[in-house]
Amino acid sequence: MQDKLMLMIPGPTPVAESTLLALAKAPIGHRTPEFSAIFADAIAKLKWLHQTANDVLILAASGTGAMEAGIINFLSKGDRVLVGDNGKFGERWAEVCDAYGLQTERLRAEWGQPLDPEAFRVALEADTAKTIAAVIVTHSETSAGVLNDLETINRHVKKHGRALMMVDAVTSLGATNVPVDAWGLDVVASGSQKAYAIPPGLGFVAVSAKAWAAYQTANLPRYYLDLGKYRKDAAKDTTPFTPAINLIVALQASLTQMQQEGLANIFCPPPTATNATRAAMKALGLGLLADDAHASDAITAVVPPAGLEAEKIRKALQQKFDIAMAGGQDHLKGKVFRMGHLGFVSDRDVLTAIAALEATLQGLAWSFPSGAGSPRQSPT
């Protein structure tokens, strides 16, 4: 059926009708009182979602742009940084650090495995000269469906004293509890097309007072991504450059809906889409790349058994049911498929996707008990 595509990928995510209607409004001038009021309200709601009293800045950029801004505004050339690398995005942040001449040290884990907080503790405690300027961690590693233990890693960073805690929260902010102030996170980046449930185009960066102190001496090149400009103008409910006006209007609408739902319901819905998805995959005889103990709340990476090709499953699922799931990246391409369950996704959507996957597997002659993916067979 035309225009009936169902997105069950880790982004972009489905968008609510109320948000789409807000997005469809005629643009207004970004140097007007009307826009300033919308912008100020969106910022206040962003602080609520981030659970912070500090700055949360809005960029016309993707999550990658937000992370790059977070890295280049608070560090100097030659600074020593530890980067957690257990997937595509951990690799990306290390590459960004390399590009800007930082002394990049990668703490690696296999894709599908979580970062080891103990490795960070050992490296940080060994740094008696306090040469480590930052620790950069991807909270929810989208490429592998892994939720890293940010809280424990951050405790080790806090004991170090000097190092900034920089976080890629692109697929965790809004899907997983990330209490920025309670944990004392210094730089937290995210993007609009994930749990915010609006189209791509906005990046967000939360910044602590400790990070702003580092900004004063940081010397990496920056202009459009100079967060000092955004902070100065945000204090006046405006932006230094032309913003994505309609996306900010949509952001306000989506955040309003999230506030009505409440943080407790956002982070702890019973039963969780994550648990339902993972239980169904097991019941269908499919493997999971990440163990239950460190599974992402936003994305599940599924490993088909021998004889079933991930790309065939994805292709058949979309052709027959107009349901899109994501493929594997890099060395996992063709070996896994990834089902997203974040953004404007309901229990009904998850059940529909699982039922369609079950029918797809039957069409590919994969044998399992009929209805194995249903809630009765896959308790959450």
Share of the chain above pLDDT 70, in %: 95
DSSP conformational letter for 199: -
Task: Determine the pLDDT at residue 372.
Answer: 60
pLDDT digits (tens, 9 = 90+) for 59-112: 999 999 999 999 999 999 999 999 999 999 999 999 999 999 999 999 999 999
Q: Average pLDDT, stretch 292-296?
A: 96
Task: State both tokens at 44.
Answer: 């206040």
Residues written for the chain: 380
Q: Where are the domains of the chain?
A: 17-261, 269-363
Does residue 139 sit in helix, strand or coil? Answer: coil
pLDDT over 60 (residue 375):
no
Beta bridge partners of 108: 85
DSSP 292: G
Give the whole-angstrom CA distance, residue 337 versus residue 165: 31
Give the ranges where 33-190 is alpha helix by DSSP (H): 33-50, 63-72, 88-99, 117-126, 150-160, 180-183
Whether the predicted pLDDT of 380 surpasses 70:
no
> What is the rounded CA–CA span in Å between residue 296 and residue 290?
8
Whether 17-261 shares its CATH topology with 269-363 is answered no
Q: Which amino acid is at 225?
A: L
Q: How confident is the model at residue 371 (pLDDT cuts 50, 70, 90)?
A: low
Percent of the chain with pLDDT over 90: 91
CA distance 254 to 343: 10
Query: Which helix (H) or strand (E) segment is 242 a member of?
Result: none
**DSSP of 68-106:** HHHHHTS--TT-EEEEEESSHHHHHHHHHHHHTT-EEEE
CATH number, span 269-363: 3.90.1150.10
pLDDT at 352: 96
Mean pLDDT on 303-308: 91
Helix residue spans in the chain (DSSP H): 17-23, 33-50, 63-72, 88-99, 117-126, 150-160, 180-183, 209-215, 227-234, 245-261, 263-267, 273-283, 310-321, 347-363
Q: Using CA atoms, how far apart are residues 114 and 295, in angstroms rounded to an integer?
A: 9
Residue 306: count of CB within 10 angstroms of its CB: 4
Q: How far apart are CA 280 and CA 278, in angstroms?
A: 5
Average pLDDT rounded to a whole number, residues 162-175: 98
Query: Could you give the dihedral angle defined by the CA atoms of residues 345, 346, 348 and 350, in that order, rounded to the nearest 10 degrees?
Result: 50
Average pLDDT rounded to a whole number, residues 169-198: 97
CATH architecture of 17-261: 3-Layer(aba) Sandwich (3.40)
pLDDT above 70 for 8: yes
- pLDDT exceeds cutoff 80 at 32: yes
Tally DSSP H helices, then E strands, for the chain.
14, 15
Task: Tell me which H or E stretch contains 108.
Answer: strand 103-108
DSSP element (H, E) containing 196: none
Q: Which two tokens stand for residue 25?
A: 């409004």
